Amino acid sequence: MKCCPTTVWFPLVVVGLVACREKGSGRIDSAGKSLPPVYSLGPAGNTNWNADAGPVMIVSTGSTGDTIEVVFPEATDSTIASFERIIPPISGLTFDLFGRGGKVKSSVSALPLPPADTDEECHFWPLAKLRSARANWRVGFASGHVNAIKVDSIEGMSSTDSAALAASLARTAATLPVAADPTFRGLPFRVRSAFTFRLDSVDVVVADVVRSVNEEANPRLEHILIVGEKAASTLGKYNVGYYSRTAGAEESTQATEVLTMVQIGAAKRPAIVVDIEYDDASKLGLIERMADGQWRATWRSAYTDC
């Protein structure tokens, strides 16, 4: 699920900032005959998956775009082992495929694959294969459950527009609390990635802003994921609706990659689909818009390292 896109850096002003649902009742049959249900309201301790997004999510695993992982939202770190050896029961489903550019293809069916023969200490999702290969997609949902959101990337903007966005992000970052860790204090920020889209009368930005300590013996990196809003077509800073901060050794610091943006269900709730990357593993996640100017990380998948 990891991806290594070309990174474009944009200097920013120097600022300081801070940055389960348990398995459903019932055992999983090893032959894939039954699965724990996805609860719309859920028992105590559910994973907060939005049931309007469908029963499963799929993720592209290769450059050809036809081999997929089948993600079960109700799996947790402690229960994912129960899902690893099943044949995913998706034969009756079709999927809509999405990338950062929006919807790539509608109503694509998939063929379940036998369980992979891997190290028992390795955690992974069951595999399947699209019946027709598709490129440039990242995640898929059961058909009809989500709609695409048109997204623009800072990398595709003119130099004037990208500079203006970087400056706006700098002003937005300056509103965040000062980081408690003094290691990065006074260092400049750079934009690792930034995406913008419009929701009715507001413009939304999703950005990964970083700063680094370039010590040969102990290089360190700080990531700030920011989701902000401002009135459509206006200048000035974004008002922060959500942010998270991680920092640590450069080679192992948690980073968040944006996979796509969608609207979920009949209510068309906006959501950002992310891949939370660790040193050698990852989790998928949703950041959903709860109200005007308010976003929240609502769901994270089980941890996988294969």
175-224 pLDDT per residue, tens = 788 776 778 888 888 899 999 999 999 999 999 998 889 888 888 898 99
CA separation for the pair 162, 180 (Å, rounded): 30
Token representation of residue 109: 């069916």
Predicted structure pTM score: 0.82
51-144 CATH pick, 2.40.10, 1.10.3470, 2.60.40, 2.40.420: 2.40.10
CA separation for the pair 113, 110 (Å, rounded): 9
Token representation of residue 64: 């050809």
- Residue with more model confidence, 222 or 110: 110
Q: Which pLDDT band, with edges at 50, 70 and 90, does 7 fall under?
A: very low
Q: Which pLDDT band, with edges at 50, 70 and 90, does 118 fall under?
A: low
CA separation for the pair 211, 224 (Å, rounded): 9
194 and 33 Cβ atoms separated by less than 8 Å: no
pLDDT at 120 over 80: no
CA separation for the pair 63, 65 (Å, rounded): 5
The pLDDT value recorded for residue 17 is 33
Residues 54-109: tens digit of each pLDDT: 999 999 987 666 899 999 999 999 999 889 888 999 989 999 999 988 999 999 99
Indicate the range of 144-153, 160-169, 179-188, 257-266 predicted with least confidence.
Answer: 179-188
195 and 182 Cβ atoms separated by less than 8 Å: no
Residue type, 271: A
Q: What is the mean pLDDT of the chain?
A: 82
The pLDDT value recorded for residue 148 is 96
- For the chain, give every residue range classified as CATH 2.40.10: 51-144
CA separation for the pair 58, 235 (Å, rounded): 38
Token representation of residue 267: 């209510």
229: nearest Cα among 203, 260, 208, 206: 203
The pLDDT value recorded for residue 11 is 44
Residues 241-256: tens digit of each pLDDT: 999 988 888 878 888 9
The pLDDT value recorded for residue 180 is 63
